[in-house]
Structure 1
Amino acid sequence: MLAFIPENAHRVEVDGRAMLMHVPSTGLYEMDAVARDVFDLFARAGVADAAALRAELGGRHAPGALADCVASFVALDILRDAATPAAPIRIARVEDVPLSTIVLNVNTGCNLACTYCYKEDLTTPAKGEKMTFQTAVAAFELLLRQASARDRVNVVFFGGEPLTNIALIRQVVDHAEARVAELGKTVDFSLTTNGTLLSEPLVDWLDAHRFGLTVSMDGPKALHDVNRRNVGGRGTYDAVARNVRMLLGRYRSRPVGARVTLTRGVTDVLAIHDHLRGDLGFAEVGFGPATSGPVSVFNLEGAALGQVFEDMKTLGRRYVEAAIRGENIGFSNMHQLLTDIAQGTKKAVPCGAGLGMLAVDKAGDLHLCHRFVGSDQPTYGNVETGIDVPRLAGFIEGAQDRSGYGCRTCRIRSICAGGCYHESYARQGDPFAPVYHYCDLMRDWVDFGIAAYTRIMQANPDFFRRHLQPRRAQ
């Protein structure tokens, strides 16, 4: 007697094709007529034996075909001996932290006062507390020790506004490039900026050192200026747009993206994308709905959040239409979703925070990621004394089992893995609590992605070779 394991299989109908996502591996399969019938039988009955299979399907399919299909489903743990209990969740033990990325919070000061900012240690430029060169060097040396087996390491500069401490950034770049040259490694730099402090000489310097750049910008003037204001309360669109045009006209090393924060009243996904990509010329645009910011009036809830996802699906359909023509319209949320599906992403934890990446504050203390800097959450060592591996291991190992929250039977658990730690902490006070306000929306978003992937693969499979593999290789 075999039992159906519904939490390991999810069926999505796409233009008459029955697509099966194997949930544990995120593998995607198209089911033939035999597989459809076997799947439907077990999904309906829950359990069945050989006699039931012969009685129900023997008149339609050969015994050998049925046996092969059942064996495939058993191998995928979609069918299991009814007497066999579910295996316990496998917890990968953390004995070391092989870092690839260190995030340096170079200044708590920012020259803007965006209404939705989540940073708990944020101050004005005059009160900003800057990281010292000594701390930054110790952080980079920690990265090199923990990444001894890697050929490439990453340094991310964060703030506040990181460019308010450009003197330190320049020092760190010079030091890091000299050190990796000694070791035969490569270092990549990146930062996210509000765009107000960019100048031609600075852009040329960033270009020379191949920075990965993202600009925080919320769309056309009427939308951007709602929340992204300077400390005096004035909108910043005119200054940012002017600098962005200069940046995109001069910068050659890498594509430059825009990062949009959607808040109550700033949700016109299509208009924002059209302006940032079509009018200003960003290579890609990514959207982050604000749902757990410190000022609740700006957070998206209920119907407004649902409408944002509907608008993202509308933009996603444009992405699919363009992909079939061989074009990439630069919608990074969609691109990431399709990358996860195409590459069979399998997550035990939601991101690399605490594993491949740690963030450093001005005192040199180590945090799970940049978003936790300034919060009341524990730290995990210091750049001078090293990583507190036992404490960090306890967190990462605990994060792998969210069965008490309902994640164990969720069909997108291998893509979501419970969602952002900081989002859960900020909204619910518990970094392990799933982002419940997103759950249904995310399940629908993944189904949308499965359908999009299937349609592109049928019409223009070369799109993935041209646009996903190069991104993965960077």
Structure 2
Amino acid sequence: MHLFTLRGEKLAYDPVSGSLHQLDEPAWRALTLWLRGEDPLDLGGELAEAGRELEELRAQGLLFAPDDFASLYHPPVFAPKSLCLMVAQACNLRCSYCFAGEGDYGATGLMPVEVARAAVDFLLESSGPRREVELDFFGGEPLLNFPVVQETIRYGKRRARERGKRISFTLTTNAVLLDEVRERFLLQEEVNLVLSVDGRPEVHDRVRRFPDGSGSYRQVMSNIERCYREWAARPRSSYCYLRGTFTRFNLDFASDFAHLFDLGFRHISLEPVVAPPSAPYALKEEDLPLLLREYERLLELYLRCWERGDKVYFFHFELDPDGGPCLTKRLSGCGAGFAYVAVDIQGDLYPCHQFVGREEFRLGHLETGLARPELVESFRQAHVYRKGSCSSCWARFLCGGGCHASAYFANGDLLTPYAIGCRLMQGRLECALYALAHKKALDLSNPEKAI
């Protein structure tokens, strides 16, 4: 059980059943006693009454639900559902926090179309019985290699139809080259778009600069605003998210959320930077209290919008307890190394894009297949029940064990999670659970929605 308070409310979350309970003072005290090994029924009065109500919830499997998955869970075999295609190991920006060495991952160049086609065939073949697969265009900056992006989409859709599968595409771009021609093609093909912008102009331009040192905000925002308006103008099966990174330079990142909202954007993600501890922009342990308060400030802004009927979506607050991730994803996270792989410009295979260029993590090659089954196995076994701090963490089924790359770069071990990342994840999940309950309450207060 996880007990926490937020916005003056006392809440209890049962991780196995996924139940969230709002508690009054007697129930909070009774549950606290239970967690200490004491029985509130022995104390009589309102504590005993609360204890009996809690006992009913436990009998219904909504409190203290036993976790039987540990003995039953077997990670799936290598069968990628998603493939990250590094179509460009080059970039037209020089973002100071880039983990990819200015976007080239140590090997500058553009992916030949033959490698891209081979990657599509590899995904469709190795995915086995899966009927739906995903391909993500990444870099560097993928729009530097736009002709290959176009050909890969056409080829992928044709080959998927021939095999009785469906393939979807996502493209992450800094939006510098996102002109109307490229935008039109991507929207017509219903490609999911992740548009990189860090928020306020001064925040964005401090870290996301052109090679000459000038800021990119004005050009990027002009393209993003046009593209987002066009995407939102009519219903589409694709999504379009603005994705920012916050660093030690903008610990007040809720203000960046507010800035993007004020510009008319309603699909926003702000992620903590991935950085070596020595970097001046890296988040530090001492920043955690401020960062956690900032998530709560963002929650206030978020709920204020919903309360007045202005729906906005913040990526980390959007929980779906009924139709969310399957059990495998809940226990193994992103599935890097067996359900998700990355392909570099030469056709080499890696567990994910953050490991590209690191020889010790090269899984094999498109032409020769997997050459490191033991490395695949190490990622398969990096699930929540193998990570000491994860196996007993209340957030394990919502987090999936965290980012493998962050764990490795912070601790040199896939099984030792990145501590700062864990604390941030727990804090934003508390906000997300509260937001979920609050939005459901808003729906129930609307008679038409209640019907």
- Give me the TM-score of the superposition, normalised by structure 1: 0.80
**Who is 2:137 aligned against?**
157
**1:106 and 2:106 equivalent?**
no
Equivalents in 2 of 1:372, 1:304: separation in Å?
27
**Who is 1:43 aligned against?**
35
**1:116 and 2:97 equivalent?**
yes
Equivalents in 2 of 1:226, 1:313: separation in Å?
25
Q: Deviations over 1:32-86 (max 9, x none)?
A: 9997686444323x266xxx95x445995599979756644699546xxxxxxx9
State the Cα distance separating 1:235 from its structure 2 match: 1.3
Are the counterparts in 1 of residues 317 and 428 from structure 2 also a CA contact under 8 Å?
no
**1:439 and 2:422 equivalent?**
yes
Are the counterparts in 2 of residues 162 and 191 from structure 1 also a CA contact under 8 Å?
yes
Q: Match for 2:213 among 233, 254, 258?
A: 233
Are the counterparts in 1 of residues 75 and 381 from structure 2 also a CA contact under 8 Å?
no
Q: Match for 1:24 among 16, 23, 46?
A: 16
**Who is 1:93 aligned against?**
74
Report the aligned-residue RMSD: 3.7
Equivalents in 2 of 1:413, 1:10: separation in Å?
12
Q: 1:99 to 1:462 in 2, by over 3 A?
A: farther
Which secondary structure does the structure 2 equivalent of 1:300 belong to? coil
Please say which structure displays the higher CA radius of gyration: 1
Matched letter for residue 71 of structure 2: R
**Who is 1:457 aligned against?**
440
Q: 1:33 to 1:229 in 2, by over 3 A?
A: closer
Are the counterparts in 1 of residues 244 and 269 from structure 2 also a CA contact under 8 Å?
yes
Higher relative contact order (CA 8 A, sep 6+): 1
**1:259 and 2:243 equivalent?**
yes
Which secondary structure does the structure 2 equivalent of 1:309 belong to? helix
Q: 1:454 to 1:68 in 2, by over 3 A?
A: closer
Equivalents in 1 of 2:438, 2:359: separation in Å?
46
**Who is 1:181 aligned against?**
161
Matched letter for residue 409 of structure 2: A
Equivalents in 1 of 2:215, 2:431: separation in Å?
36
Q: 1:342 to 1:450 in 2, by over 3 A?
A: farther
Q: 1:18 to 1:376 in 2, by over 3 A?
A: same
Equivalents in 1 of 2:186, 2:50: separation in Å?
65
Are the counterparts in 2 of residues 98 and 356 from structure 1 also a CA contact under 8 Å?
yes
Are the counterparts in 2 of residues 341 and 450 from structure 1 also a CA contact under 8 Å?
no
Which secondary structure does the structure 1 equivalent of 2:331 belong to? coil
Segments of structure 2 that go 5 or more residues without pairing to the other structure are none
Q: Match for 1:427 among 385, 407, 410?
A: 410
Equivalents in 2 of 1:248, 1:69: separation in Å?
45
Between 357-366 and 404-413, the greater mean CA deviation after superposition:
404-413
Equivalents in 2 of 1:345, 1:178: separation in Å?
28
**Who is 1:203 aligned against?**
183
Are the counterparts in 2 of residues 12 and 450 from structure 1 also a CA contact under 8 Å?
no
Q: Deviations over 1:404-455 (max 9, x none)?
A: 6422222222222331111122222223211212334433333333333333
Equivalents in 2 of 1:295, 1:63: separation in Å?
50
Equivalents in 1 of 2:439, 2:88: separation in Å?
44
**Who is 1:394 aligned against?**
377
Which secondary structure does the structure 2 equivalent of 1:328 belong to? coil
Between 108-117 and 418-427, the greater mean CA deviation after superposition:
418-427
Segments of structure 1 that go 5 or more residues without pairing to the other structure are 1-8, 79-85, 467-474
Equivalents in 2 of 1:209, 1:202: separation in Å?
11
**1:373 and 2:356 equivalent?**
yes
Which secondary structure does the structure 2 equivalent of 1:189 belong to? strand
Equivalents in 2 of 1:74, 1:207: separation in Å?
44
**Who is 1:352 aligned against?**
335
**Who is 2:118 aligned against?**
138
State the Cα distance separating 1:351 from its structure 2 match: 1.9
Matched letter for residue 112 of structure 1: L
State the Cα distance separating 1:289 from its structure 2 match: 1.7
Are the counterparts in 1 of residues 57 and 63 from structure 2 also a CA contact under 8 Å?
no
Identity of aligned residues (%): 27
Equivalents in 2 of 1:408, 1:63: separation in Å?
28
Which secondary structure does the structure 2 equivalent of 1:406 belong to? helix
Equivalents in 2 of 1:292, 1:66: separation in Å?
44
Equivalents in 2 of 1:257, 1:15: separation in Å?
28
Q: 1:75 to 1:204 in 2, by over 3 A?
A: closer
State the Cα distance separating 1:197 from its structure 2 match: 0.9
- Aligned counterparts, 1:250-399, within 5 A: 250-251=230-231, 253=236, 254-279=238-263, 281-293=264-276, 296-335=279-318, 338-339=319-320, 343=324, 347-387=330-370, 390-399=373-382
Matched letter for residue 145 of structure 2: N
Equivalents in 2 of 1:292, 1:57: separation in Å?
53
State the Cα distance separating 1:164 from its structure 2 match: 0.9
Q: Deviations over 1:297-342 (max 9, x none)?
A: 111223444323322321212222332344322322222xx33698
